[in-house]
Amino acid sequence: LRRGAVAPDLAGRRVVISAGGTREAIDPVRFIGNHSSGRQGYALARTAAARGADVTLVAANVDLPDPAGARVVRVSSAVELSEAMAAERAGADAVVMTAAVADFRPVTSAASKIKKSGAAPAPIELVENPDILAGLVVDREREGLEQTIVGFAAETDDVIANGRAKLARKGCDLLVVNQVGGGRAFGTEDNQATVLASDGAVVDIPTGPKEALADRVWDLVVERLPRGAR
């Protein structure tokens, strides 16, 4: 291949990628959210499209231009993201969850803007959100699908041990683990990661642009796709 040319090794494949960060409404003007920019998910969408895939990008609160060649579905909350992923996963060869999903949401969202009353504020009661990634694995097993499922995790402390435990708990095929701290991961242009595979493989991806990391992730996905099953 000519330098800069891309192997169309995802041609005929359908991939679904979640990106961004969910927002959990407290009242009509406030939410619980996170700092995920969506850049890594968008880089995965761009690179998959460049490699020939049919790409659906489920974007939660991302302020970036639509990637060329991807169909974009916009959501906001974790429950909306869960519903969108449940609808889009059918028939996908690979599903990649880069979205930062809020672990908890307020039990109720006030219909009117919460006002100061002079008294102490009422506590906000939280309930756990569905684990979308684990649910995708359950759906795949139930339907006996050949589908590669990838998660992302930001970890501190013993990053690999935490990542291994999370990979096992979620049941996905690949977990891309970022070490957080030192200005990495959230909102930065560059990314570094270790990819842990359910087959025991450990692949270090050196610090580089999010596109380069995305391409390495697709390499690992392509290796795991059933051959010729289109």
Residue keyed to tokens 């192997």: 7
Does residue 67 bind ligand CTP (CB under 6 A)? no
Binding-site size, Ca ion (CB under 5 A): 1
Pairing outcome for strands 24-27 and 30-32: antiparallel
Choose the contact partner of 131 out of Ca ion, ligand CTP, none; CB within 5 to 8 A by kind. Answer: ligand CTP
- Residue 132 annotated as part of some ligand binding site: yes
Considering the candidates 34, 129, 162, 178, report the single residue annotated as catalytic. 34
Q: Residues 119-158: x/- map of binding to ligand CTP (CB under 6 A)?
A: ----------x-xxx-----------------xxx-----
Comparison of 18 and 47: residue with beta carbon closer to ligand CTP: 18
Is 61 among the residues known to form the active site?
A: no
Q: Quick one: which of 49, 75, 101, 220 contacts ligand CTP (CB under 6 A)? A: 101
Residues 99-118 that bind Ca ion (CB under 5 A): 103
Comparison of 9 and 103: residue with beta carbon closer to Ca ion: 103
> Count of CB atoms within 10 A of residue 16's CB?
30
- Residue 186 annotated as part of some ligand binding site: no
Contacts of 220-228 with C-beta under 8 Å, sequence gap 24+, read 220/174, 220/195, 221/15, 221/94, 221/96, 221/148, 221/150, 221/174, 222/9, 222/10, 224/148, 224/173, 224/174, 225/13, 225/93, 225/94, 225/146, 225/148, 226/146
Which segments are annotated as binding site for CTP? 103, 113, 130-133, 152, 166, 170
